[in-house]
Amino acid sequence: MGTSIADLLGMQLPEDPVSDSSEGGESGASPDKVWETVVAAMLDVSDLPAADYRLDLRLQEDFDLHPIALFAVVSRIEDDLKVKLKDSEVTECQTLADLVALVKSA
């Protein structure tokens, strides 16, 4: 298993996080909660208004999201949703849809 951003930053996440009671992906969070969390994290590093967010937007080109900023986003998502994402899978994310799908599968 790869090292997560939360691990690198010294954050302690529960081994068996309590899942959200609503229906959702493997992470236990509802699809709406995942979307809200991803958007909130992206708003911290992007000037693009949330109303303009679409799943087909490219992280690097449309959000001007550099690799370090991407890992800041991922760190917040991991902390907020109590999930761990593999660095190798994060770096493969090209679009907002890729990132949302990765978080849902965590």
Domain interval for residue 46: 5-9+26-105
92: in domain: yes
Query: Mean pLDDT for the chain?
Result: 82
- What's the whole-number mean pLDDT along residues 40-54? 94
Q: How far is it between the farthest Cα atoms of the chain?
A: 36
16: in domain: no
The one-character DSSP state at 92 is T
- What's the whole-number mean pLDDT along residues 6-16? 49
Give the CATH number, domain containing residue 37. 1.10.1200.10
DSSP notation for 6-64: HHHTT----SSPPPPSS--STTSS-HHHHHHHHHHHHHTT--S-GGG--TT-BTTTTT-
81: in domain: yes
For residue 68, what are the β-bridge partners? Answer: none
**Distance separating the N- and C-terminal Cα atoms of the chain:** 12
Q: For the whole model, what pTM was predicted?
A: 0.73
14: in domain: no
- What's the whole-number mean pLDDT along residues 97-105? 97
Tally of domains within the chain? 1
Model confidence at 5: pLDDT above 60: no
- pLDDT, one tens digit per residue, over 52-84 is 999 999 999 999 999 999 999 999 999 999 999
